[in-house]
């Protein structure tokens, strides 16, 4: 814009909507940082509300689960949007997403929308193969229903705050954290990333099967071998561990 055009726009008070997009953030701080680059609200003001129990309680969320308020997508906002206005808009979008159909599916599998979101966040970090997600979700739901620990490697990375790990060793699983799903049964206190809406739907429509175990395939295709028994899983795991050792991957 020329100086004259800019002055005329400011004088008129008109605004052009800005597009805010987020989709792969692991932490609330990452989400707040991305959004604050595009609207007037600064990252600290967004984070403050995402950590405020009084603000979150009427929305059915807590500081541990508050990132679930923001569904990954592209949204239009006025530039001068405040932190509260941004999050109230997110609450409206979330309410639209969780329609009667999705709420009914969650209820039928005995989960709340927040619990579905937590599982979806783990599935998102387990695989980028969308055709496998509903099967992996089924494994975790089978484990939950049986009272088994989830033993989800992505939760260990989150607990350690080390997302570069490619190999979870026994020492890693001893980290003292409520997000350590090797030591604690049930779901972790909150999601380990911002789950995609498509993954949430994969959880709601999870594959019903008798698998309780899975591990990465030894061909490094990104797919997994699934097993019904610990004996089968041990065989699959050894194949993958040997493949990793052959490549000298220690972490």
In the chain, where the domains are located: 11-95, 110-246
- State both tokens at 59: 């929305």
In this predicted structure, what is the pLDDT of residue 12?
Answer: 60
What share of the chain in percent tops pLDDT 70? 94
User: Is a pLDDT exceeding 80 seen at residue 231?
Assistant: yes
Q: With contact defined as beta carbons under 8 Å apart, do 120 and 197 qualify? A: no
In this predicted structure, what is the pLDDT of residue 169?
Answer: 85
User: Is a pLDDT exceeding 90 seen at residue 165?
Assistant: no
Which residue from 123, 117, 145, 153 is spatially nearest to 135, judged by alpha carbons?
123
Q: Reduced to 3 states, what is the DSSP secondary structure of residue 35?
A: helix
pLDDT in tens, 175-205: 999 999 999 999 999 999 999 999 999 999 9
Q: If you average pLDDT over every residue of the chain, what do you get?
A: 92
pLDDT in tens, 135-148: 999 999 999 999 99
Q: With contact defined as beta carbons under 8 Å apart, do 138 and 209 qualify? A: yes
User: Is a pLDDT exceeding 60 seen at residue 251?
Assistant: no
Provide the b/e sequence for 163-185 (b: ≥16 CB within 10 Å).
eeeeebeeebbebebebbbbbee
User: Is a pLDDT exceeding 90 seen at residue 247?
Assistant: no
User: Is a pLDDT exceeding 70 seen at residue 243?
Assistant: yes
User: Is a pLDDT exceeding 90 seen at residue 211?
Assistant: yes
């Amino acid at each position: 814009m020329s100086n004259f055009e800019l002055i005329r726009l400011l004088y008129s008070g008109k605004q052009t909507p800005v597009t805010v997009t987020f989709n792969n953030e692991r932490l609330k701080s990452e989400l707040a940082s991305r959004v604050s680059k595009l609207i007037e609200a600064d990252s600290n003001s967004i984070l403050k509300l995402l950590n405020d129990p009084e603000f979150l309680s009427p929305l059915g969320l807590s500081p541990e689960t508050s990132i679930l308020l923001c569904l990954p997508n592209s949204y239009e906002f006025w530039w001068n949007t405040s932190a509260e206005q941004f999050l109230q808009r997110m609450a409206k979008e979330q309410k639209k997403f969780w329609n009667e159909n999705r709420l009914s599916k969650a209820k039928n599998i005995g989960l709340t929308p927040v619990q579905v979101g937590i599982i979806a966040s783990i599935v998102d970090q387990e695989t980028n193969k969308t055709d496998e997600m509903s099967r992996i979700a089924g494994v975790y739901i089978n484990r939950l229903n049986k009272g088994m620990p989830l033993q989800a490697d992505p939760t260990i990375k989150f607990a350690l705050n080390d997302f570069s790990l490619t190999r979870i060793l026994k020492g890693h699983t001893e980290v003292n954290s409520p997000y350590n799903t090797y030591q604690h049964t049930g779901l972790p206190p909150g999601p380990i990333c911002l789950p995609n809406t498509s993954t949430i739907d994969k959880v709601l429509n999870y594959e019903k099967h008798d698998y309780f175990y899975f591990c990465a395939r030894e061909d490094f295709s990104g797919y997994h071998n699934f097993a019904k028994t610990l004996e089968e899983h041990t065989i699959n795991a050894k194949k993958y561990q040997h493949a990793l050792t052959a490549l000298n991957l220690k972490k």
